A and B are shown apart, each in its own frame.
Chain A
Amino acid sequence: MASSNQPTLDVSNLRVVRSSNEILKSISFHAAPGELIGLLGPSGSGKSTLMRALLGVQAISSGSARILGSAAGSPPLRGQLGYMAQGLAVYLDLTVEENIRYFNGVLNLPFYEVSRVLDVVALTTFSQRLVSTLSGGERARVSLGVALLGSPPVLILDEPTVGLDPILRRDLWGTFNALATAGATVIVSSHVMDEAARCARLLLLRNGTLLFDGTPASLLAVSDAHGYDEAFEHLIEGTR
């Protein structure tokens, strides 16, 4: 486990090239335990690729990504990173509990972890329902539940709130905040700029380049804007 003064994420000059397309161009940043980081950017800006590179499922062309002191994708990290993919990545033809139980077993965690996680994502009453019969928001919570198994020190959540109603989004952000307060490094991607205000720190990505790394307040200050949408427009158009 990383101690509190050691960065949990150490990304330097990370480059990802996929079939001669440069998806990420020299990305560098650090993250510490307890940080809630919003990874914002328009569709196609490279958010998912960056997250997948951190998880070790996307090959890195040059530069490095180290997580908890190990290179991204190295075996000791398997199970240390909670991941919620955009496509949800749960079995639609299993019940909520069967999904959580399977991933819990793969992680070799004690059985009570299943009921703890079901409780955290408020799905205890749905535990016997097939995931295919659930609404979009409930499905997202199943996927989040899998990511939370074993309380991993790093959580990588790819657009977890997309398409959800405002109440559910607020509740999920409450959960992300609580996880960061408990000491986890939480990275949440979104293309909804309004969600920026909910993070202590923002990373803005455009065309594979990190445009901004700082607090929401400083984003408004540097871009001389009245809202996050406007700030984002200013930043993107200013560098075009």
Chain B
Amino acid sequence: MSLRRTLLTTRRILEQLRHDPRTLALLLIVPTALVGLLAWSLIDRPGAFDAVGPKLLGVFPLIVMFLVTSVITLRERTVGTLERLFTLPLTKAEFIGGYAIAFGTLALAQSLLVSVLSYTWYGLAHQGIPWRISLVALCAGLLGTAFGLALSAVAHTEFQAVQFMPAFILPQLLLCGLVIPVAQLPSVLRAIAAVLPMTAAVHAIAPLRSNQYYVGQFAVMLAYIVVALVVGASTLRRVSK
């Protein structure tokens, strides 16, 4: 695996996004504005924003990166650039690594913007360590990218790719503890929620837990990232049957 070709791929993806300022703005501004809207709506309920706001920092990168990655890689498959790359000396690992670094960087930028505004303007008083929030956002972004890569193989059109979003994201959103605390779910759903990647992202942000607890949540996220990347890589076929 060549780091040079991986980084060239990252640069190419970031250049594509740079030429699409609307998508870039949506990536960065929408989550920031949504968290601001939440802070505003909870302004008369002291402590409420402190409880919910940080969790969103683990949810947004997952959703946004999932959507963007699945559409952009689907486009590589349908336009034929992926096939062209496979006639050139680019490996699957370099291709996937390029995507992971590009969207991981974007997830970090997105979370930094949201958390800086949350801690200042939105008045967040979260008892967590800011760098942990960034780490969660990075993992959540990579989760979204990894799952997006894998699902782009199942979708045949961009329309289908977008339809996967509610199918893949909404169940997790309902179960991850954002709407109802995981502990209050019926036992079967609680067991399911406990192993979902988005739940791990939300739990890893929760304040005042033991280091062991956080390590466990990060381990769940990392396991999902690795599995989804391997599945994603296996759907990239150099030779079609």
Q: Hey, what's the 0/1 contact readout for B152-185 against A, CB within 8 Å counting as 1?
A: 0000000000000000000000000000000000
Given A98-B15, A146-B84, are A106 and B240 also a contact pair (CB < 8 Å)? no
Q: Could you tell me if A57 and B87 are in contact, using CB atoms closer than 8 angstroms?
A: yes
Q: Interface SS of chain B: helix, strand, loop or mixed?
A: helix
Find B85's partner among A73, A87, A95, A106 (CB 8 Å cutoff): A106
At the interface, yes or no: B239 with Cβ under 8 Å from chain A?
yes
At the interface, yes or no: A173 with Cβ under 8 Å from chain B?
no
CA distance A106 to B7 in the complex (A): 10
Given A57-B83, A57-B239, A73-B238, are A98 and B89 also a contact pair (CB < 8 Å)? no
Report the count of interface residues on A (CB-CB < 8 A): 33
CA distance A223 to B142 in the complex (A): 62
Q: Could you tell me if A102 and B87 are in contact, using CB atoms closer than 8 angstroms?
A: no
CA distance A108 to B12 in the complex (A): 15
Give the residues in chain B near A58, CB-CB below 8 Å: 239-240
Give the residues in chain B near A83, CB-CB below 8 Å: 84, 87
CA distance A59 to B11 in the complex (A): 32
CA distance A200 to B90 in the complex (A): 34
At the interface, yes or no: A170 with Cβ under 8 Å from chain B?
no
Q: Could you tell me if B80 and A102 are in contact, using CB atoms closer than 8 angstroms?
A: no
Give the residues in chain A near B44, CB-CB below 8 Å: none
> How near does chain A come to B27, taking the closest CB pair, in angstroms?
15
Q: Could you tell me if A92 and B12 are in contact, using CB atoms closer than 8 angstroms?
A: no
Q: Could you tell me if B83 and A89 are in contact, using CB atoms closer than 8 angstroms?
A: yes
Interface residues on B, range: 20 to 34
A104, closest chain B residue (CB): B8
Q: Hey, what's the 0/1 contact readout for A80-91 against B, CB within 8 Å counting as 1?
A: 010101111111
At the interface, yes or no: B19 with Cβ under 8 Å from chain A?
yes
CA distance A74 to B229 in the complex (A): 25
Q: Could you tell me if B238 and A85 are in contact, using CB atoms closer than 8 angstroms?
A: no
Q: Could you tell me if B89 and A106 are in contact, using CB atoms closer than 8 angstroms?
A: yes
Q: Could you tell me if A107 and B19 are in contact, using CB atoms closer than 8 angstroms?
A: no
Q: Could you tell me if B240 and A79 are in contact, using CB atoms closer than 8 angstroms?
A: no
> How near does chain A come to B150, taking the closest CB pair, in angstroms?
21
Q: Could you tell me if B19 and A57 are in contact, using CB atoms closer than 8 angstroms?
A: no
B81, closest chain A residue (CB): A89
CA distance A86 to B83 in the complex (A): 12
CA distance A87 to B77 in the complex (A): 11
Q: Hey, what's the 0/1 contact readout for B35-78 against A, CB within 8 Å counting as 1?
A: 00000000000000000000000000000000000000000001
A158, closest chain B residue (CB): B80
CA distance A122 to B93 in the complex (A): 35
A58, closest chain B residue (CB): B240
> How near does chain B come to A62, taking the closest CB pair, in angstroms?
14
Q: Residue among B81, B84, B88 with the most chain A CB within 10 A?
A: B84
Find A107's partner among B11, B16, B78, B88 (CB 8 Å cutoff): B88
Q: Give the interface of B toward A (CB within 8 A).
A: 4-5, 8-9, 11-12, 15-16, 19-20, 78-81, 83-90, 238-241
Q: Which 9 A-B pairs have the closest CB atoms?
A: A89-B80, A87-B80, A89-B84, A105-B8, A102-B12, A78-B89, A85-B80, A93-B16, A59-B239
Please list 8 pairs of residues, one from A and one from B, whose beta carbons are closer than 8 Å in the complex, sorted by A's number: A18-B241, A52-B83, A58-B239, A83-B84, A87-B78, A89-B83, A91-B81, A108-B89
